Chain A
Amino acid sequence: MAPEETLGSADPNRRDFLKKVLAGTTFAAPVLATFSMEGLSPEAAWAQAGNCSNMTTSECCRFAAEITIAIAQLGAGCCSGGPAAPTAPTPTPPGFFFLPPEIQALLVGQLGKAQTLMAEGLDKGNGDCTNPPAREKFKKASKELSKFETLVDELCAGGIADFLKGQADLLIRAIGDLVNGVCASDGSRLLLCFRT
C-alpha cells in the first residue's frame, strides 16, 4: 500500500482524517446512497392522515400527535432492517441497521414505550391534551425517552449514538413544551427519521 501518495494528494488539513479512513481498510466498490428527508414534516403526515378522519382537535393534541409520529419514525425509519454490510446495491437508510438485531430490538422497544405513553396521553387528552391525566402520560413518555438515551449510551458509540441522542433530545424538549402548554409547532422542530 502507498497511503503516503494518497495523503499527499489530499488537502493538508484533511490528511489525519484520510489516514483514519485508510487505516485497516481494503478496497470496496464505492457506495453513495442518498436519502431525502423532504416531505417528512409532521404537517405532511397530518395532511396525509386528513383523509381518515374529520376529527378536529386542539393545537396541543396536534402537537402531541406530531411528537408521537416522530417517535414512531425514529424507530421505524431507522430500524427497517437491511443488509449487514452497506455494500449492497440499495442500502437501507443509515441508522440502526448497522447494529446487531438484539440491540436494534432493545432500542426499538424503548422507543415503543415512549410512543405508547404518548398515544395514551392523546387518548386521555380527549381533544384537549392539557389536562392532568394527559400531561402525566406525556411526562412518562419523556422519561422513557431519557431511558432510551441511556440505552444508546450503553449500547452504541460514535456518530450514530450522537445522532440518536440528538433526536431523542429534540423529542424530550418538545414534550417539555407540550406539558407546559407551549404547543405551537412549526413542524421543523421535530426531525423525523429517514425515508428512501
Chain B
Amino acid sequence: MSRGKHKTTDIVLTQRPRHVDGLDINPVEDGFMIYRPDTDRVHYLNHTAVLILELSNGRNTPARIATLLKNAYGLPEAPEHDVNETLLKMADEGLIRRASPGRPLPRNATRTQRRR
C-alpha cells in the first residue's frame, strides 16, 4: 500500500474523522453492508465498525469514539487501538474523508474553544 500512510494516519487520527456523505448502510445477517457504485466496492461491517463509522461525524475525536464505545459496552478500557485501526482502514477505503490538514483541535478543547 503506497498511499502515504503516515499522512493518512496524521489526518485521520489527529482530527475529528468524518465519514463521506451518502453512504447507504444496509443491515444484513450479523452485520451491515455498504455498496459504493462510484468505487465499485462492497464493504461489510460488523456492528462495532458501524458504530465507529456513525460516530465519525466530524464531532468526535478517535479517542472520544473509543470512550463512547467503552461506556456503551461497559468495557474496562477504551478500545483506542481497535478504533484507530478501523478508522485508518476506513480512510483507506474512502469511507472516511481525507480532510485537508487544517487546525487540529486539542483533545481537551472546550465547546466554546471549538466554536471560536
Note all chain B residues with C-beta closer than 8 A to A27: 48, 69, 73, 75, 79
Q: Is B5's beta carbon under 8 Å from chain A?
A: no
Q: Flag whether A9 is at the interface (Cβ < 8 A).
A: yes
In the complex, besides A35-B41, A86-B31, 8 extra interface pairs with C-beta distance below 8 angstroms are: A1-B73, A3-B72, A22-B51, A32-B90, A34-B42, A86-B44, A91-B44, A159-B33
State the CA gap A160–B75 with chains docked (Å): 31
Q: Does A18 contact B (CB under 8 A)?
A: yes
B binding-site residues for A, Cβ under 8 Å:
25-31, 33, 40-52, 54-55, 57, 59-60, 64, 68-69, 71-75, 79, 82-83, 85-86, 89-90, 93, 95
Which one of B29, B30, B59, B83 has the highest number of Cβ atoms from chain A below 10 Å of its Cβ?
B29
CB neighbours (8 Å) of A45 from chain B are: none
For residue B73, which residues in chain A have a CB less than 8 angstroms away from its CB? 1, 26-27
**Residue on A nearest B85 in the bound complex, by CB:** A30
B28, closest chain A residue (CB): A159
Distance, CA A11 to CA B86, complexed state (A): 20
Judge whether B47 and A160 touch: CB under 8 Å.
no
What's the nearest-Cβ distance from chain A to residue B37, in Å?
9
Closest B residue to A24 by beta carbon equals B47
List of B residues within 8 angstroms of A162 by Cβ:
26
A36 to B59, CA, bound (A): 30
Contact at A32–B69, with CB atoms within 8 Å? no
Cβ distance A72 to chain B, nearest Cβ, rounded Å: 19
Give chain B nearest CB distance to A119 CB in angstroms. Answer: 28
Contact: A29 with B82, CB < 8 Å? yes
Instruction: Identify which of A30, A94, A163 contacts B83 (C-beta below 8 A).
Output: A30
- Which residues of the other chain, A, contact B28 by a CB distance below 8 angstroms? 94, 98, 158-160, 163
Taking A22-B72, A37-B41 as contacts, is the C-beta distance between A86 and B47 under 8 angstroms?
Answer: no
- Shortest Cβ distance from residue A185 to the other chain B in the assembled complex, whole angstroms: 18
